[in-house]
Amino acid sequence: MKIRKVDDKNIGETKQWLRTASTLMEALPYLRAFSGHTFVIKYGGNAMGDDELASDFARDVVLIKQVGVNPIVVHGGGPQIGQMLKRVNIQSEFVDGLRVTDQESVDIVEMVLAGSINKHIVTSINEAGGKAIGLSGKDGRLIEARKLRRTKRDPDSNIEKILDLGYVGEPQKVNADVFKIFEGSDAIPVIAPIGVGSNGKTYNINADTAAGAIAEAVNASKLLMLTDIAGVMNGEGELISEMTREEANRLFKTSAITGGMIPKLETCLHAMEGGVEAAHILDGRVPHVLLLELFTQDGTGTKITL
């Protein structure tokens, strides 16, 4: 027999339980709606560098899997790559936010992304009760890539020059059949954004771009991108919690979208043009941001719909 004394403390605990029950009831319609769907989650930024946030992320992914969603995690690792390159005395050069990657650098990039970072994420998810499987885009030729070319107009001569970024690539084809191996299983794929060229060469691919291409290829219901800001802001610095693809395209024509948000929003819109139903840009610094966005009415961050 278990006896509980009724006092002010118990009343406080009961109120907390009622709030928990209310949250679960709020989540129930979303749990039903999302079961059986595939979500692609781009994981990066400060959320990867903070142990507590990384633990929250791992538990969120496991819970998402356990309620019937099929998550695919695609991760970045720019700061970690920079640290390793500095350690081995290789200088990094950036052009329009992309790391120029020579042969020596691409070996380090692959070692860090497909090695230490990928396995750390896999281990975190497994320790949280999941069954994560680490892959790179080279495994099963998951991401077939081509050399990324960028042009830049010389302000003096007005001549457009082709920039050589080395072994920086872009997805040419995503072999979605690789993911069929995991159908009906408990496995959670964790993908390092390394691609393979037709000549067998290794290419470093921007993680946002890789996530968007994978989301298109697997007909994902959602693309969720974790960033280091609250979401998409309007011209007054206010968070846009929800907007349509058409509204997002109009926003591009204003000065509100700047810096690193430009390629992120472009990736989301391109993925939606390829069949992804909705895209979310979230602040990865918020604990359990995935659960807050997916399973509550108001969410957090910016949701882009068709």
Picking from 122, 121, 100, 97, the residue whose alpha carbon sits closest to that of residue 109 is 100
Burial track 76-99 (b if 16+ CB lie within 10 A, e otherwise): bbbebbeebbeeeeeeeeeeeebb
**Which residue range is the domain that position 84 belongs to?**
40-305
| CATH code, domain carrying 185 | 3.40.1160.10
Task: Report the alpha-carbon distance of residue 70 to residue 3 in Å, rounded.
Answer: 42
Give a yes or no: residue 262 inside a domain. yes
Token duo for residue 71: 């998550």
pLDDT tens digits, residue range 37-62? 999 999 988 788 889 999 999 999 99
pLDDT tens digits, residue range 151-180? 666 666 556 666 778 899 999 999 999 999
Task: Report the alpha-carbon distance of residue 50 to residue 46 in Å, rounded.
Answer: 6
pLDDT tens digits, residue range 217-237? 999 999 999 999 899 998 888
- Tokens 């001549």 correspond to 159
pLDDT tens digits, residue range 16-32? 666 667 767 788 888 88
CA torsion angle for 60, 62, 64, 67 (degrees, to 10)? -140
275 confidence band (pLDDT: 50, 70, 90): very high
| Contacts for 33 with CB less than 8 Å, ≥ 6 apart | none
Give a yes or no: residue 56 inside a domain. yes
pLDDT at position 231 is 93
Task: Report the alpha-carbon distance of residue 109 to residue 123 in Å, rounded.
Answer: 20
Task: Report the alpha-carbon distance of residue 252 to residue 256 in Å, rounded.
Answer: 7
Give a yes or no: residue 28 inside a domain. no
Give a yes or no: residue 299 inside a domain. yes
Task: Report the alpha-carbon distance of residue 192 to residue 98 in Å, rounded.
Answer: 17
Give a yes or no: residue 65 inside a domain. yes
pLDDT at position 158 is 59
Stated as kind and residue range, the H or E segment containing 188 is strand 187-192
Query: Side chain identity at 7, as an amino acid letter?
Result: D
Burial track 37-64 (b if 16+ CB lie within 10 A, e otherwise): ebbbbbbbbebbeeeebbebbbbbbbbb
pLDDT at position 11 is 55
Stated as kind and residue range, the H or E segment containing 105 is helix 103-110
As a whole number, mean pLDDT of residues 64-89 equals 91
Give a yes or no: residue 7 inside a domain. no
Q: Mean pLDDT across the chain, nearest whole number?
A: 88
Give a yes or no: residue 25 inside a domain. no
- Tokens 């960033």 correspond to 227
Give a yes or no: residue 114 inside a domain. yes
Q: How many domains does the chain have?
A: 1
Rg (CA), the chain: 21
